[in-house]
Amino acid sequence: MPLFIILVYLIVFLFIFSLYERRRHPQEKADNSYDNEKTNDIHFGNDTYDNAAPEIKALGSVISNIMRADNGTNKKELEVVRKFAYEMYSDRDASILTHISPLSSSANKMNLKKACSQVNRFFPEYLDRYAICELLFTIVAADEVITGNEWSVLLRTIPYLNINACDIDYFKCKYVHLVQGMKHNQQHSQHYNSQSTSKDVAIKAEDLTQYFAVLGLDKTATMDEVHSAYRKLAKKYHPDTTVNPALQSILTEKFKEISNAYNHLKVC
C-alpha cells in the first residue's frame, strides 16, 4: 500500500512539473514551432536540396540569390517566404522551400541564370512569373530597406524571368524609394499609398506620370487610351485568373494599383 501511494504522488508531481515547464517556456515553444511547424518527419540535412523536387530547387535557388544579396537573412524575409511557400505548395514541399531558400548559392547548387531558366519552364504562365517577381521584391522590402546590392541583383534577375519592360518599370517605380541612397526618389512611389480620387486633390506632375506608367502609357495618352489600357490590364491581372491563394494575393495588390491609377487619371 505505501508503494502505491508513492507512485500516485510521483505521477501527480510529474504532471504538475510538466505544466510548470510549459508555462515557463511558452516563447521558446513558439520560436521552435516557427522552424518545425508542419515539417513532420522531414529531416533537413545536407541532402535536402538534392532530394527536393526540381521546381522547388529552381525557385529556392532564385530566392536564395535575392535573400543573400545583402550577405544575410532576417526573420521578416523568412516569414515572407514561408507564407508564400505554404500557400503555394503541399506542407512537405513548402517546408523544403522554406529551408533551402536562405541557404547559400553553393548549397543550392544552381546559378541565378540557370535557376531562372528552370523557373520559366515550370511557370510558363506570365502571371505566375510576375507574381514570383513581386514575391522577390516583397522579400527584400520586408525590413523597409533595400541595399544597393539587393537592388542590383533584383534588376538583373527579373529580365531572366522574361518579364516585360513595362512591368519592370512598374517594379522600379514601386520600390525605388526603399533603396539606400535613393531616398530622393520617393516621389516615384508616393501614388501607391494614395487612395484619394477627389477632384479637389492636386496631383503632382511626377505622380501623374507614374499613374500613366502603371497603365503602360505615355503621359500624352488620351482618355480613350486610358480607358482601353485599364480594361485590358484589369482583365489580365484580375485575381480570378488564378486559383492559387499565393498568386491571388499578389495579383489582388496589382489589381488595386491599376484601379488606383485609373481612378486618379479619370478625374484629372
Under 8 Å between Cβ of 154 and 93: no
pLDDT at 27 over 80: no
Alpha carbon 42 to chain centroid distance? 24
Could you tell me which residues come within 8 angstroms of residue 138 by beta carbon, excluding any fewer than 6 positions away?
80
| pLDDT > 60? residue 228 | yes
Burial class (CB in 10 A: 0-12, 13-18, 19+), 15: exposed
Residue 163: pLDDT band (50, 70, 90) is very high
| Amino acid identity for residue 24 in this structure | R
Q: How far is the CA of 65 from the CAs of 118, 207, 220, in angstroms?
A: 14, 32, 39
The 10s digit of each residue's pLDDT in 190-214 is 444 444 333 334 445 556 777 888 8
pLDDT tens string 173-192:
888 889 987 654 444 444 44
Count of CB atoms within 10 A of residue 133's CB?
A: 20
DSSP calls for 33-89: HHHHTT-TT---STTHHHHS-HHHHHHHHHHHHHHTTTS---HHHHHHHHHHHHHHS
Q: Provide the Cα torsion 38, 43, 49, 52; round to 10°.
A: -60
Terminal CA-CA length for the chain: 91
Q: What is the pTM of this model?
A: 0.67
Q: What is the mean pLDDT of residues 15-21?
A: 65
3-state secondary structure of 211: helix
Please give the single-letter amino acid code of residue 56: I
